């Protein structure tokens, strides 16, 4: 491609800005806490109760009055009458009388009058009477009411991303629902008359739909909801109907295929008439032909990605992931990179940002290119865990160069 053609292309940064200026944070809703893993809180959460909700024992032992243990030691144990047991979940009514104690289990409510709990290891373990050889401090082994969370505290702030620990806290304070930005529902459609459902014997000229399953999995792995609609042939009305049918349940639509310059590039054909979708060449490799805009009354964002599987997947990482993050309320922007030493050499097209596939080694802070430039190389894509970002002005990466890397799995976002 000539330099003047490259100059006419939109830059990767401009295309991402268009995308992020268009997609919106999803309106908050109350969801059951069983369904909020990975979602972002839309409001502060205030605890209605204190934690612990009552004074309770942190050990299995004996609830005691300190005055009864004065001078207790290995060679001069204090002896107390054991009034009974307090198990977790049960309550001892009444006040602990002088000279007595209660056998108490971890988590059980400390009886009135008790000032500490003696672990069973400091005693002879008696059940009628017990000999105690060591004196605890006041409140020792007691988890005091409100010492973790006080009723009325803001326990989680708006903007917090909920994970297992935060969900555990919500449950502990008795919240059944949480106000969150919900999971974006992302409808994934593969177009192309050559495509068949994986598992179907391949006829001449046919290939399996790899993009649908890959992109649906990528959406789900982010904590959004991927809805794979399946394959649509290169029939304009079929593509139009499928997109319109899906709008009712979609927060975003992603199509692959049919956006280049071929005679059967139907996505481009039908969406050009439908609304604001703009088809552009972006100065990147792979992923040059990109379509993005909105469709339907609700202005649902739509990405029409190139059909080549590597191009489609790279487009997901560069544009769709940040867009979904914005819809979910996760702080977003261009993908973060890490610097790594490149073990291997390859060329890069002038004027385009290349996203070469690589195997990144976080321990050695190095990356090894895998596969060539071909946008069809799914075998190599599956081996890769990183994208090597080669700037527009660089035409060659030589062995030992420092490069910037987007770590696709297990790296910064």
Ligand X SMILES: Nc1nc2c(c(=O)[nH]1)N[C@H]1C(S)=C(S)[C@@H](COP(=O)(O)OP(=O)(O)OC[C@H]3O[C@@H](n4cnc5c(N)ncnc54)[C@H](O)[C@@H]3O)O[C@H]1N2
Cα gap 367→374, rounded to integer Å: 19
Q: How far apart are CA 88 and CA 93, in angstroms?
A: 14
Q: How many CB atoms lie within 10 A of CB 168?
A: 10
Contacted by 371, from ligand X, ligand MOO, none: CB < 5 to 8 Å by type:
none
Work out whether 309 is an interface residue with ligand X (CB under 6 A).
yes
100 binds, among ligand X, ligand MOO, none (CB under 5 to 8 A by kind): none
Find which of ligand MOO, ligand X, none residue 207 binds, CB within 5 to 8 Å per kind. Answer: ligand X
Stretch 250-289 residues interacting with ligand X (CB under 6 A): 256-262, 265, 286, 288-289
Out of 68, 209, 325, 392, point to the residue binding ligand X (CB under 6 A): 209
How many Å apart are CA 150 and CA 128, to the nearest integer? Answer: 38
Our finding on whether 115 is near ligand X (CB under 6 A) is: no
Tell me which residue has its CB nearest to ligand X.
307
Q: Least distance to ligand MOO from the beta carbon of 285, Å?
A: 5
Distance CA 62, CA 108 (A): 11
Phi and psi (nearest 5°) for 71? 80, 0
How many other CB atoms are there within 10 angstroms of residue 150's CB atom?
Answer: 13
What six digits make up the tokens of 52? 């612990």
Residue 195 engages ligand X in binding (rule: CB under 6 A): yes
**332 interacts with, out of ligand MOO, ligand X, none, CB within 5 to 8 A per kind:** none
The distance of closest approach from Cβ of residue 308 to ligand MOO in the complex, given in angstroms and rounded to an integer, is 4
Residue of 192, 322, 329, 371 interacting with ligand X (CB under 6 A): 192
User: Out of 190, 294, 348, 354, which residue is the one contacting ligand X (CB under 6 A)?
Assistant: 190
Residues that bind ligand MOO (CB under 6 A): 285-288, 306, 308, 311, 375
Nearer to ligand X, 329 or 349 (CB): 349
x/- track of binding to ligand X for residues 123-162 (CB under 6 A): ----------------------------------------
Task: State whether residue 296 is helix, strand or coil.
Answer: coil
Q: Under the criterion CB under 6 A, does residue 349 sit at the interface with ligand X?
A: no
Return the number of other C-beta atoms located less than 10 Å from residue 258's C-beta: 28
Q: Give the total of residues touching ligand X (CB under 6 A).
A: 26
CB 398 → ligand MOO: shortest distance, Å? 23
Cα dihedral value 266, 272, 276, 280, nearest 10: 80
DSSP letter for each residue of 80-113: EEEEEEE-TT----SBPPTTEEEEE-TTPBPPBT
For the bound state, the minimum distance from the C-beta of residue 243 to ligand MOO, rounded and expressed in Å, comes to: 21
- Would you say 155 or 215 has its CB closer to ligand X? 215
Return the one option of ligand MOO, ligand X, none that residue 290 interacts with (CB less than 5 to 8 A, by type): none
Cα angle at 216 between 276 and 295, to 5 degrees?
15
Residues in region 350-389 near ligand X by CB under 6 A: 375
Out of ligand MOO, ligand X, none, which partner does residue 337 contact, by CB within 5 to 8 A per kind?
Answer: none
Evaluate whether 146 touches 52 at the Cβ level (below 8 Å): yes
Ramachandran assignment for 412, one of left (phi > 0), alpha (psi -120 to 50 degrees), beta (any other)? beta
Query: Both tokens of residue 361?
Result: 């080694």
CB contact set of 121 (below 8 Å; sequence gap of 6+): none
C-beta atoms surrounding 91 within 10 Å: 10
301 binds, among ligand MOO, ligand X, none (CB under 5 to 8 A by kind): none
Q: What is the C-alpha to C-alpha distance for residues 316 and 402, in angstroms, rounded to an integer?
A: 25
Residues that bind ligand X (CB under 6 A): 190, 192, 194-195, 207, 209-212, 256-262, 265, 286, 288-289, 306-309, 311, 375
């Amino acid at each position: 491609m000539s330099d003047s053609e490259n100059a006419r292309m939109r830059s990767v940064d401009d295309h991402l800005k268009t995308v992020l200026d268009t997609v919106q944070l999803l309106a908050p809703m109350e969801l059951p806490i069983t369904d909020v893993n990975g979602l972002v809180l839309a409001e502060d959460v205030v605890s209605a109760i204190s934690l612990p909700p009552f004074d309770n024992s942190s050990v299995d032992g004996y609830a005691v009055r300190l005055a009864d243990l004065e001078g207790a030691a290995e060679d001069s144990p204090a002896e107390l009458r054991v009034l009974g047991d307090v198990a977790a979940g049960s309550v001892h009514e009444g006040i602990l009388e002088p000279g007595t104690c209660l056998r108490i289990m971890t988590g059980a409510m400390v009886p009135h009058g008790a000032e500490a709990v003696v672990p069973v290891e400091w005693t002879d373990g008696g059940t009628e009477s017990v000999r105690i050889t060591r004196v605890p401090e006041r409140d020792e082994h007691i988890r005091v009411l409100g010492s973790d969370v006080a009723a009325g505290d803001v326990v989680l702030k708006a903007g917090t991303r909920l994970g297992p620990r935060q969900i555990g806290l919500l449950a502990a304070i008795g919240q059944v629902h949480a106000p969150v930005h919900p999971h974006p529902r992302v409808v994934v459609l593969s177009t192309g008359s050559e495509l068949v459902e994986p598992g179907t014997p391949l006829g001449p000229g046919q290939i399996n739909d790899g993009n649908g399953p890959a992109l649906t999995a990528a959406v789900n792995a982010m904590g959004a909801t991927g809805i794979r609609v399946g394959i649509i042939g290169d029939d304009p009305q079929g593509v139009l109907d499928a997109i319109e049918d899906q709008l009712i349940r979609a927060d975003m639509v992603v199509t692959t295929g049919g956006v280049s310059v071929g005679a059967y590039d139907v996505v481009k054909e039908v969406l050009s008439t439908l609304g604001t979708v703009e088809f552009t060449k972006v100065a990147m490799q792979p992923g040059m032909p990109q379509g993005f805009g909105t469709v339907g009354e609700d202005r649902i964002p739509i990405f029409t990605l190139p059909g080549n599987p590597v191009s489609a997947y790279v487009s997901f990482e560069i544009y769709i992931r940040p867009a979904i993050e914005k819809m979910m309320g996760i702080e977003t922007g261009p993908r973060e990179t890490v610097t790594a030493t490149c073990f291997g050499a390859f060329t890069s097209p002038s004027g385009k940002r290349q996203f070469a596939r690589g195997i990144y080694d976080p321990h050695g802070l190095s990356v090894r290119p895998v596969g060539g430039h071909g946008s069809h190389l799914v075998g190599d894509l599956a081996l890769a865990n990183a994208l090597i970002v080669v700037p527009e002005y660089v035409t060659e990466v030589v062995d030992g160069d420092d490069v910037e890397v987007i770590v696709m799995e297990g790296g910064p976002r």
